[in-house]
Structure 1
C-alpha cells in the first residue's frame, strides 16, 4: 500500500458511467468521499439520474473511439476543474469497455478490431489526451483490467487479449510515468454483478456449421454472464474495495471481485491446473471426448 498524495486534487474522471455498471458504482463511491466526479459516457442519458442529481457530479459526453469526442471532453473537463478551482486531475479511471463471446474460429475479424478499438486503443487515446491534466494534478491513472488478463477463459479470446494488453501496457507505463509524479494502477476485476453483459456483449450468432455446436449451451452461458449474476460481487461492494485503496495511495495492482483471489493464486500453479478447470467449465472436455468416440 502506498501513501496518499496530499497535493493531489480530490477529483476523478471516469469513462463508461452507464447506470448499473462498474463506472457508475465507482462514481458513487468517489462522490460520497467528497470528490468532484466527472462522469462520462458515450450517451450521457444512460448515466443514473440518482448520480447526476448529486452535488459535485458533472456529466461529460465521451466516445473513447472518437478523436473529436475525446478532444471535446478534455476541454469540458478542464473547464469543470477550473470552475471548481481544481489544479489538474486527481484520478483518471479508464473503465469503458465492450465484450464479445465467440469461439475464435467463428470470429469476424471486424468484430475483433471493434473490440480492440474500445478496450485497447480507446484507453490509450483517452490517456494520451488527458495526460497533461494528470501530470498537472500529480494524479493517478487507473485502468480497469480484468482477471481475464491472467487466465484464458474459452470463447473470450479477443476480450482476454485486450485486457492482457491493457495490463501489460499499464505496468510498463507505471515505470515511465513515475518520474513525472503520476501513479498507475491496474484493477484486476473479478466477476461482477453488473449490467455489463447486457450492455456490452452482442447476442450470440454461432454459425450452423460451427465446430462448437456441441457446446452451444456453454457458450450461451458465457454470453449472458450467468456465473457473474449468480456468484459475482455487487458493483457497489467492488467499488468500495477499489476506491478505498486508491484514495490511500495504492499503485501497481488491485485484485477485487469474485474469483480474483483464486486467479491470483492460480498464477503460482502449473498451467495444466487452470487448463483442467477451464476445460471442464467450458464444456471443451466433453467435446473432445465426443470427437474421440
Structure 2
C-alpha cells in the first residue's frame, strides 16, 4: 500500500498536464496520464507513464477509465488532477453560445464527472483532488468573458467540494494559474471578430490579442511547485503560481472591484472603441 497513484487529465503534448505527470513520476508516484485518442503519447510512454484514452465530456468514457484505473490501482487513487481544458476568445456580445457550452463541458462538467466517478478511490486513499484554475477566474480580462466564467465556476465548485469532502478526509486544492508556457493559445489564434461587430474598430487589436505571445512561467517550473503542493499533508485551499499571479492576488485582496476597469481600459485600447462608437452615433443623429 506504499505505492502512490496520480491521475492527470489533459496530458497532450506541450501542455501543463504533460509537465505535471513527468514531475509526479520524478517524485516517485505511479502516474496515469489521460489523452484524447488522437493525441501523441510516445514521449510519455518512453518515460514509463501509463497513458489511457479519455474524453471528459463523455460519461461513458469517464466510467470506462474509472474501471480501468480501479483494476490498476487496487481501488485507490492518491491524486486526481483535473487539468483538461480549452479556451474560447470572443467579446461577450458576439459569443457563440454553442462554443461556450462545449467549453463548459470540458472545463467545468469534466471535473464534475471525474469526481463523481472517482470519489470512492479517493476516499479509500484519503487522497487529493486538484483543479487547475486560472487568474482568468478573477480578472475581467477583455475578450475572455466565457473562459473566465468557466474558471470562476471551477473555483467555486472546488471550494464547496473541499468543504463537503473534508469529513471524508479527501483534500481539494485549486491552483490559480498565471501565464504558463503552453500551447493552449494556439487553438484560438485563427479567431476573428464576426462581420459587423460593434468591436470592428478593434479588429486589428483583437487579431493581435489572439496571436499574442505573453511573458510566461516555464511549465516545468510550474509543475514542480504545483506537485509540491499536491503532495502536501495540508495543502492550502488555493495555490497561486505563474506569471501575473502576484499582481492579480494583490488587486484581488486590496483593490476595489472596478480597479480592473481602469487597468484594462488602456491595455485593450477601449478608448478607441468609445470614440468610434460616439462618432458613428453622432452621424446617425
TM range (shorter): over 0.9
1:164-204, Cα deviation, whole Å (9 max, x unpaired): 00000101111100000100000000001101112x43731
Aligned residue number for residue 255 of structure 2? 269
Deviation at 1:105, TM superposition (A): 1.3
Match of 2:197 among 210, 224, 249: 210
Alignment of structure 1 residues 170-189 onto 2, 5 Å: 170-189=158-177
1:286/1:8 Cα in 2 relative to 1: closer, same or farther (>3 Å)?
Answer: farther
- Mapped to 2, the partners of 1:43 and 1:205 lie a distance apart of 29
Match of 1:30 among 8, 18, 24: 24
Alignment length, in residue pairs?
277
- Mapped to 2, the partners of 1:8 and 1:163 lie a distance apart of 34
Aligned residue number for residue 114 of structure 1? 102
Deviation at 1:80, TM superposition (A): 1.7
Alignment of structure 1 residues 84-95 onto 2, 5 Å: 88-95=76-83
Name the SS of the counterpart of 2:27 in structure 1: coil
> What TM-score, normalized to structure 1?
0.90
1:156/1:36 Cα in 2 relative to 1: closer, same or farther (>3 Å)?
Answer: same
- Mapped to 2, the partners of 1:239 and 1:141 lie a distance apart of 16
- Mapped to 2, the partners of 1:202 and 1:79 lie a distance apart of 41
Task: Extract unaligned runs of 5+ from structure 1.
Answer: 1-6
Aligned residue number for residue 246 of structure 1? 230
Aligned: 1:105 with 2:89: no
- Mapped to 2, the partners of 1:78 and 1:202 lie a distance apart of 39
Deviates more, 1:272-281 or 1:28-37: 272-281
Deviates more, 1:88-97 or 1:266-275: 266-275
Name the SS of the counterpart of 1:102 in structure 2: coil
Aligned residue number for residue 68 of structure 1? 60
- Mapped to 2, the partners of 1:265 and 1:127 lie a distance apart of 31
Aligned: 1:289 with 2:275: yes
Deviates more, 1:208-217 or 1:252-261: 208-217
> What TM-score, normalized to structure 2?
0.92
Moved runs in structure 1, 4+ residues, more than 3 A?
none
**Superposition CA RMSD, Å:** 1.6
8 Å CA contact 1:206–1:213 kept in 2: the answer is yes
Name the SS of the counterpart of 1:29 in structure 2: helix
Q: Which has the larger radius of gyration?
A: 2
- Mapped to 1, the partners of 2:248 and 2:17 lie a distance apart of 23
Aligned: 1:219 with 2:206: yes
1:77/1:222 Cα in 2 relative to 1: closer, same or farther (>3 Å)?
Answer: farther
- Asked which structure has the greater RCO (Cα within 8 Å, sep 6+), the reply is 1
- Mapped to 2, the partners of 1:225 and 1:133 lie a distance apart of 41
1:123-145, Cα deviation, whole Å (9 max, x unpaired): 11111111111111110000001
Aligned residue number for residue 264 of structure 2? 278
Name the SS of the counterpart of 2:258 in structure 1: helix
Task: Extract unaligned runs of 5+ from structure 2.
Answer: 280-285
Name the SS of the counterpart of 1:46 in structure 2: coil
Deviation at 1:290, TM superposition (A): 3.0
- Mapped to 1, the partners of 2:203 and 2:223 lie a distance apart of 33
Aligned residue number for residue 141 of structure 1? 129
